[in-house]
Amino acid sequence: MSVGFIGAGRLAMAMAKGFIRAGAVPAENIFASAPDNLVGRAELRNIKELGIQVTHSNTALVSQSDVVFLAIKANVVKNVLEEISPFVTQRHLFVTPMAGITIKSVEESLPEETRVIRMMPNTPLVVGEGATVYARGEHATKHDAETVEVLLSNVGWCFEGKEEYMDAVTGLSGSGPAYVFLSIDALATGGVKMGLSRQESLRVAAETIQAAARRVLETGAHPSMLKDEVCSNNSLGQSALAAIHKMEKGGFRALLMDAVEAGEDRTKELRRMGEVKNHVED
């Protein structure tokens, strides 16, 4: 199997590293393309260090690849798909990680019966800890889904879902790391306010959130139950309960729920804007 990345930025770099590290795809079977400009040339220099083959030609990449990841920005996808469409054959599987870009819009820009899978990763993928949801297009097969799972399992955790929920996934998982980073920063700043050093506070906050998340995953217990374990009747529990009371009064839970909803709404808005723009251009 050969894998190509149209776009050679951080997402492509992270996935290529994961595939090579796990032995899923040898470096010589991975290709990357980027524009022949300052940014594109810099990206290709970086990704070339992995031992993969690089080019400025998207069409050459497609001709050499079985699985093609569209690791590009949404505002250029229409032009890129028009460029490569004449070179797409039945052997190709396209994977699109772009927020707001539907499977149908990709399928309509490529030859009939082209196999397309849409994925929504998040940035922890760059350290091999991504959480990715993917959905199959009309012509993508079970084998295609298995291929994507094998590849993505090398850069984190993934599962198959329905495309109708992809905007919600974007608000929850795609944008989720930003909510967590903000939480870590806020917790650390609280520690600094109480006299800890910034470095100590950041480490303690990050380790605490990582450990709490691991406990949820490893036990399978509901977070509310685990929260109640912390808020026990001893002195530590009483301190935690006082803090939780303060957070609940401030609307912490509702704020996070609203953030997920706002992320979904913005994704839908961006998609509608893209659809209008493409309609005007056509």
Q: What is the CATH number of the domain that holds 224?
A: 1.10.3730.10
What is the residue range of 231's domain? 174-260
**Would strands 115-120 and 130-136 be described as parallel, antiparallel, or unpaired?**
antiparallel
Mean pLDDT calculated for residue range 81-104: 94
pLDDT of res. 270: 80
| pLDDT greater than 60 at residue 171 | yes
Are 159 and 190 part of one and the same domain? no
Q: Any known ligand binding at 10? A: yes
**281 within a domain of the structure (yes/no):** no
Q: Any known ligand binding at 4? A: no
Mean pLDDT calculated for residue range 69-84: 94
Give the angle subtended at the CA of 143 by the CAs of 139 and 145, to the nearest 5°: 75
Q: Any known ligand binding at 241? A: no
Q: Any known ligand binding at 11? A: yes
Are 140 and 61 part of one and the same domain? yes
Mean pLDDT calculated for residue range 191-198: 97
Q: Any known ligand binding at 27? A: no
Picking from 214, 216, 243, the residue whose alpha carbon sits closest to that of residue 231 is 243
Confidence bin at 280 (pLDDT 50/70/90): very low
Are 109 and 206 part of one and the same domain? no
Q: Calculate what percentage of the chain has a pLDDT beyond 70.
A: 97
Contacts 24+ apart (CB under 8 A), 23-26: 24/150, 24/151, 24/154, 25/1, 25/151
Q: Calculate what percentage of the chain has a pLDDT beyond 90.
A: 83
**The residue type at 169:** V
Are 88 and 39 part of one and the same domain? yes
Tens of pLDDT, residue by residue over 209-242, are 999 999 999 999 999 999 999 998 888 899 999 9
Tens of pLDDT, residue by residue over 123-150, are 899 888 999 999 999 999 999 999 999 9
pLDDT of res. 205: 98
Confidence bin at 243 (pLDDT 50/70/90): very high
Are 238 and 120 part of one and the same domain? no
Q: Across the chain, what does the average pLDDT equal?
A: 93
For residue 245, with 0-12 CB atoms within 10 Å meaning exposed, 13-18 middle and 19 or more buried, which class applies? exposed
Query: For position 48, which CATH number holds?
Result: 3.40.50.720
CA–CA separation, 155 and 157 (whole Å): 7
Tens of pLDDT, residue by residue over 111-127, are 999 999 999 999 899 88
Picking from 176, 112, 114, the residue whose alpha carbon sits closest to that of residue 96 is 114
What is the number of structural domains in the chain?
Answer: 2
Helix (H, G, I), strand (E, B) or coil at 140: coil
Q: Any known ligand binding at 79? A: no
CB 40 within 8 Å of CB 74: no
Confidence bin at 108 (pLDDT 50/70/90): very high
Of 163, 194, 211, the residue at which a domain comes to its end is 163
| pLDDT greater than 60 at residue 185 | yes
Residues with Cβ within 8 Å of residue 53, at least 6 apart in sequence: 28, 30, 31, 32, 64
Are 63 and 133 part of one and the same domain? yes
Are 189 and 64 part of one and the same domain? no
Q: Any known ligand binding at 182? A: no
